[in-house]
Amino acid sequence: MSGGVHHQESLAAAVGLLDKRALLEEEALCLNVRGRAEHCRRCANACHADALALSPDALDVDRERCTGCGGCVPACPAGALRLSGFSPVRFLAALGGETHKRQHSRQALENQWRGAMC
Ligand code: SF4
Ligand code: SF4
Q: Does the Cβ of 31 fall within 6 Å of ligand 2?
A: yes
Domain range list for the chain: 1-20+85-118, 22-84
Position 7 scores a pLDDT of: 73
Other residues' Cβ atoms within 10 Å of the Cβ of residue 13: 19
Question: Domain 22-84 is in which class?
Answer: alpha beta
- What is the DSSP secondary structure assignment for residue 2, as one 8-state letter? -
Distance 20 CA to ligand 2 centre (A): 23
Using CB distances shorter than 6 Å, the residues near ligand 1 are 23, 46-47, 49, 51-52, 61, 66-72
Which amino acid residue places its CA nearest to atom 2 of ligand 2?
Answer: 76
How would you class 59 by CB atoms within 10 Å of its CB: exposed for 0-12, middle for 13-18, buried for 19 or more?
buried
C-alpha neighbours within 13 Å on the C-beta side of residue 22: 9
Q: What is the reported pTM?
A: 0.64
Which ranges of the chain have pLDDT less than 70? 1-6, 13-20, 86-91, 94, 97-118
Please write the tens of the pLDDT for every residue from 43-52: 999 999 999 9
Residues 22-37 pLDDT 10s = 899 999 999 999 999 9
Cβ of 51 less than 6 Å from ligand 2: no
